[in-house]
Amino acid sequence: MTEHPSYPTALGASDRESITLLGHDLAEDVMGTVGFGELAYWLATQRRPTPGQTRVFEAVLAALADHGFTPTAITTRLTYLSAPDSIQGALAAGLLGGGSRFLGVTEDTGAFLHEVLAGAEGAPPTDDAAWDALALETVRARRATGQRIPGLGHHVHKDGDPRTPRLMRIATEEELFGPHLSLFAAIGRVHPQVLGRELPLNGAGVCGAALADIDLPIELLRGFALLARTAGLIGQLAEEVRRPVGNDIFLSVDQNNQAVDPAPYTPD
């Protein structure tokens, strides 16, 4: 008798009559009952979120869905221009651009804050003064090694990212303003003492802190940013179909390039 391999999963499984997802009947218990944000959280943690966690999570998804003509959006539009038969290719091209400068900041900030908190001695601070002391120590340590603070600064919202205070208010209302957001807020208060100038706490960074505080896996934070941006890129594609600008972007570069002499590479 031949033994068949076993592949256990608590996610989706099907038989002839039904589909089971997370221990529930998909058609009867999930469809029309569980919202997509709640389901995405549930799938990632295999733990159903509280209403407060769902609200914070969906606020993050909204915050990261679209932010204008970013490189991810432009790439999606230009890929569609080149291959209109490949919607999946256009979406994938935009998502592949989620890195350390765009979208990846969410993961970078959450992981950075988590590392600081894990390495701090004793119990987490209980008041602003203690949080400020930890933040000041953290910023000075990063400055000493020449490293940037993830989530600090924005190329457009130089006077403050409007997403940041709003998400902090939502987390406060839901009693989910935890240690990651507390440390991030303290960094916002103290960093001018070290850097000599004031920079805004950006929306991608506060999203990373909020996701960490609602107990989502740190190593998956970039995935949630990409989940949000997928919706935004679908919107970019929908607008490109109705009011295309991809060809104008292509022609602007193509017709305004300038030939220059080669600049041979010389190793350091």
**Whole-structure pTM value:** 0.91
Residue 252 lies in a domain: no
Q: 144-148: list long-range contacts, CB under 8 Å, 24+ apart.
A: none
Residue 149 lies in a domain: yes
19 with 26: CB under 8 angstroms? yes
Domain that holds residue 181: 104-217
| Model confidence pLDDT, tens digit, residues 48-86 | 999 999 999 999 999 999 989 999 999 999 999 999 999
Residue 232 lies in a domain: yes
Distances in Å between the Cα of 200 and the Cα atoms of 59, 156, 233 are 19, 10, 26
In total, the chain counts a number of residues equal to 268
Confidence grade of residue 26 (pLDDT, cut at 50, 70, 90): very high
- Of all helices (H) and strands (E), which one includes residue 13? strand 12-14
195 with 139: CB under 8 angstroms? yes
Give the CATH number for residue 129: 1.10.230.10
- The span from the CA of 163 to the CA of 244, in Å, is 28
**pLDDT surpassing 70 at residue 1:** no
| Model confidence pLDDT, tens digit, residues 103-136 | 889 999 999 999 999 998 888 898 999 999 999 9
Q: Do 78 and 160 fall into the same domain?
A: no
- The span from the CA of 184 to the CA of 175, in Å, is 16
Q: Do 211 and 122 fall into the same domain?
A: yes
- Of all helices (H) and strands (E), which one includes residue 5? none
Q: Do 203 and 111 fall into the same domain?
A: yes
Report the relative pairing of strands 24-25 and 12-14 from DSSP bridges: unpaired
